[in-house]
Amino acid sequence: MGSKLVIILIIFQKMAVFIYIFIFLFLSFDSIESKGRESVPAKPEILISEVLFNPFPEGCDFVEIYNNSGHAVDISGLFLATRDASKVLKQLAQLSVSQKYLAPGAFLAVTISPEGIRRFYRTRCEECLLKTQKFPTLTDKNGCVVLLNKELVVLDELNYDEGMHDPLISEVEGISLERISFAVEASRKDNWHSAAKSAGFATPGYLNSVIEVADPTGEMVSVDPGVFTPNGDGLNDQLNISVKTDDLGWILNITILNCTGGVVRNLVNNVTTGRSDQFVWDGLDGEFQKVQPGIYILNISLFNRDGRHRKARRACVVSDRL
């Protein structure tokens, strides 16, 4: 009897060891699997791209969003809000009560009055502006914009203040703040900058003037075509001037000179630039008279608040025929 009891105890101990090992391995695998799932953060799908919080007296606030995903997103499931002094959400506003889809890589400016936007800024398309029935109050000096989904999960959030504008700009009324990079969080104040003057101080519903764009050529200034004919025939009637900079806060001047160095026209005067800007010379002088055919020089200069200067010269030819 005693030997049988000993055998039973030994078997029980071995079974307990096996059960313990099984439970340990089961929990370990589950833990490893859970950690693996959590280690891959979800890519933010919809982001805040631009905010106008201090509009002109007859203008209107807007918040621009960007579809950062690879698929269309139904904006009826999105909401804008702000926060009170205790950081509690308030003034929740649904973007659309009916289904509307924002294409991947597309921008959408949301406002209570599209007409208040069109009155002061260039717009690329009617569908780039969305009128909402309600819109959170954005104070002129500082405040908060929150973007949420239908479960009221925060997708993106910006705490703004007028000190985020370019210090070279003395009057910020009517100038939007644009996001520089979608790879950097909205909470980073250095990821926002005043919209460029060359873009009209706001870009509602289309690509930001200050956004980071890769330039494979690395060329600061380019002109096209090299020979143009401002004769109104619809073919090469103007000179297209492209100016690209690697950072923000530059002030641009472009002067047209004749072949003897005389000033023909001050084409661009103290304009704040974005990262990539386009300008046009129509072949007219400072009196808006057509210039004579010949070789002309574009004198381009940039300076910023840090005292840095950049200069470039490009030649072009005005012709009466090709």
Q: What is the pLDDT of residue 54?
A: 97
Q: What is the pLDDT of residue 89?
A: 96
Report the alpha-carbon distance of residue 297 to residue 291 in Å, rounded. 13
Residue 315, both tokens: 């030649």
Q: What is the pLDDT of residue 81?
A: 97
Q: What is the pLDDT of residue 285?
A: 95
Cα–Cα nearest to 317, from 283, 270, 286: 283
Helix (H, G, I), strand (E, B), or coil: what is residue 14? helix
Residue 148, both tokens: 């949420």
CATH says 221-318 is which class? mainly beta
Q: What is the pLDDT of residue 322?
A: 57
Spatial contact of 221 and 300, defined as CB atoms under 8 Å apart: yes
Q: Where are the domains of the chain?
A: 46-199, 221-318
Report the alpha-carbon distance of residue 79 to residue 156 in Å, rounded. 11
The mean pLDDT values, 10 residues at a time, for the chain of 322 residues are: 50 50 40 30 79 96 94 94 95 95 94 96 91 96 96 96 89 95 89 89 91 58 91 91 83 89 91 88 94 91 78 88 63
Amino acid identity, residue 176?
S
Helix (H, G, I), strand (E, B), or coil: what is residue 296? strand
46-199 shares its CATH topology with 221-318: yes
Q: Which CATH number fits domain 46-199: 2.60.40.1180, 2.60.40.1260, 1.20.1250.20, 3.40.140.10?
A: 2.60.40.1260
Q: What is the pLDDT of residue 166?
A: 87
In angstroms, how far apart are the furthest CA atoms of the chain? Answer: 123
Cα–Cα nearest to 246, from 216, 275, 211: 275
Spatial contact of 245 and 221, defined as CB atoms under 8 Å apart: no
- How many residues are present in the chain? 322
Report the alpha-carbon distance of residue 311 to residue 250 in Å, rounded. 12
Residue 262, both tokens: 């005389």
Helix (H, G, I), strand (E, B), or coil: what is residue 164? helix
Q: Where are the alpha helices (DSSP H) in the chain?
A: 2-38, 114-118
From the number of C-beta atoms within 10 Å of its C-beta (0-12, 13-18, 19+), residue 112 rates as middle
Sign, CA torsion 119/120/125/131: negative
From the number of C-beta atoms within 10 Å of its C-beta (0-12, 13-18, 19+), residue 228 rates as buried
